[in-house]
Structures are given as C-alpha cells and as structure tokens.
Amino acid sequence: MEILKNCNLCPRKCGVNRYHEKGYCHSGNRIKLAYYSLHMWEEPIISGENGSGTIFFSNCNMRCMYCQNKKISLEGYGKEISNKCLGEIMIKLQSMGAHNINLVTPTHYVPQIAYILHKIKNKDLTIPVVYNTSSYECIGTLMMMRGLVDIYLADLKYYDDSLAMKYSDCSNYFETATMAIDEMVRQVGKVQINDNGLLEKGVVVRVLVLPEHTRDAKEIIDYLYHTYHNDIYISIMNQYTPVSSCPYQNLNRRLTEEEYEEVVNYALTIGVENAFIQEGEAALESFIPPFDKKIIP
C-alpha cells in the first residue's frame, strides 16, 4: 500500500517507509494482532448479552505511560497476520454471536482494515463495526473509514495539553482529538439504539478520570455536553489501574471514590443525561484481557 511508504496516518506524521522502518507507533507494513475475543466489559449498549467482538491491535500511536494494555501498546506483544486473516477473524467473531466487531487501537492499520472491510462489510459481515480509539487521529485517516464504521468508541483523554505532553508525549491533543470527534459525529450521526437496547450507530466518548485530575475530567465533560448535548453518550470511567511504577506519584494509585463522585456529580449538575457511570470495583484485572494466550492463528 503506497500510503505506508510515507506514513502520515496519525498526527505524529513520522513519514517513514513502513516497508523498511518503523515510526513512533513501532508498526511495520503488516497488521500485528495481540488478541481477539467476545468482550463483556464495554458499555452495556455495546457488549449486550453476548459480548463485543473485540480485536486488539498491537502497538499504538499514543503510548500513554499508564496504559493498562501496555503489553501490546508499549511492548508490542502480538503476531503479524495477513489482511485475509483479519477478515476471517471478524467473520469468526460474528459466528460466535458477537453483537459487533470492535477494532481496538486501529489507527496505524487503517488502510489494511479499510481494504478488508470494503470486501466483506454488508456481505459476509453484517454486524456493526466499532472503531475504538484514543481520538489522536488525522481527519484524512478517519475519512478512509467513512461508510465502514457504524460506531465510534472514542477517548477524550485530556483537556489540558500540558497533561497530554506529560503523560503521553503528545502535543496539541485536545484540538486534534476534538476535531476528530467532530468528524466521527459527522460520519455516523446521533446515537441510534435498536429494540434490543444495543447501539447501532453513533458516538460514545469515554472520559477516564485520572487520580488528582478531576478538574480536567470536568472540563472535558463540560465541553462534550455543551457541544453535542444528547447526540452522543459520555462514558465516565473510574477504572484507572496502575500497572507499573510511574515517575508521577498520582499515577501509582487508583482513583478514590470521592474523586470519581466529584466528577459524576458535576456531570449531573450541568444536565448530562446520556451517560454511563461505573459502580463498585470497576478497576479489576478482568478488564485487562489475557494477552499472553496464544490464540492468534
């Protein structure tokens, strides 16, 4: 694929020839996959009763220092597969009863994913496609997925760009991510829930509340609600899980109940209605797939 010979798929814009070298995301010209399964721990309108057919891609263009999936995002665990194999995995997950195909961290493989979806979507593959992203995206890359993605499951990680630089080595995150979310909403429109209570079309934006950063989370929620009102869902997450020692002490502990309640109460106060909150011990290892299982064909 020509685009991989001068890769500018994400805002890092490395410009490397991925047939011969690797850029910031550490990805070559072939898809690298870590894990796939029926996943029960997404938002209820995505997981439903049967689970979301999640496909975890190796590597990442964000590489946040606190990533709970660091084994694949930072350490590159996984196996290279063909485009054809990816299509076969999607069909297999559909046959297992998945409510949707959930592409987790797909940005750096968009040309290959789009290629296979053009072949099978609305033919052999008839369930919705979910694009699960950090939102650190280029508009041109998202446009490659127009008509192929039904649901965008997007993070909005930071309001304050100094935090994005501190924790994710990522400049101009908020402007870049909000422009990307605008494009997502343009593509799939307002949320559409079917008779079974499952999301068929629309955008869900996740806000992971980080320890000691409740103000930033509230700024994000304020922006999302006053921009999109009830056209999207906001998912307020308390599952931050320290997975290794970080140079910043606040990232070496879980979120407190008081911190999380402060953010949720703020959302209620400003009028947010279409939202998901997590109750109890959401920050459990069950949310982190067992990436060491050798199940990739």
Query: Count of domains in the chain?
Result: 1
10 inside domain = no
The residues, ordered by sequence, that sit 6+ positions from 268 with a Cβ below 8 Å of its Cβ are none
Tell whether 125 is covered by a domain. yes
> What's the pLDDT band for 284 if we cut at 50, 70, 90?
very low
* 294 inside domain: no
Rounded average pLDDT over 24-29? 96
Contacts of 118 (CB under 8 A, 6+ apart): 148
Q: Is residue 195 part of a domain?
A: yes
% of the chain with per-residue pLDDT over 90: 87
> What's the Cα-to-Cα distance from 94 to each of 42, 168, 289, 291, rounded to whole Å?
17, 34, 19, 21
H or E stretch at 35: strand 31-39
Q: Which residue has the tokens 């009830």?
A: 230
Spatial distance between the Cα atoms of 116 and 67, rounded to a whole number of angstroms: 28
Is 293 a domain residue?
A: no
- pLDDT tens digits, one per residue of 155-185: 999 999 999 999 999 999 999 999 999 999 9
Q: What is the pLDDT of residues 183-219, one digit of tens each?
A: 999 999 999 999 999 999 999 999 999 999 999 999 9
Whether residue 226 is predicted with pLDDT greater than 80 in this model: the reply is yes
| 276 in any annotated domain | yes
Query: What pLDDT is recorded for position 286?
Result: 47
SS3 of residue 34 by DSSP? strand
Radius of gyration of the chain (CA): 18
Range of the domain at 37: 32-287
pLDDT for residue 282 is more than 80? no
pLDDT, residue 285, reads 45
* 233, part of any domain: yes
Q: Is 55 within the bounds of a domain?
A: yes
pTM for this one? Answer: 0.95
Across the chain, mean pLDDT equals 94
* pLDDT tens digits, 60-97: 999 899 998 888 998 889 999 999 999 999 999 999 99
Measured between alpha carbons, how far is 163 from 250 in angstroms, rounded to an integer?
Answer: 13
Return the CATH number at 84. Answer: 3.20.20.70
Range with the largest mean pLDDT of 84-88, 278-282, 290-294 = 84-88
Q: Residue 77: what pLDDT?
A: 92
**pLDDT surpasses 70 at 294:** no
More confident position, 75 or 131? 131
For 92, 97, 99, 149, 174, the CA distances from 37, given in Å and listed in that order, are 10, 11, 12, 19, 31
Q: What's the whole-number mean pLDDT along residues 115-120?
A: 98
- At residue 243 the predicted structure's pLDDT band, cuts being 50, 70 and 90, is confident
* pLDDT at residue 297, as a whole number: 53
- Residue whose C-alpha is closest to residue 220's, from 265, 263, 271, 182: 263
Q: Identify whether the C-beta of residue 135 lies closer than 8 Å to the C-beta of residue 154.
A: yes
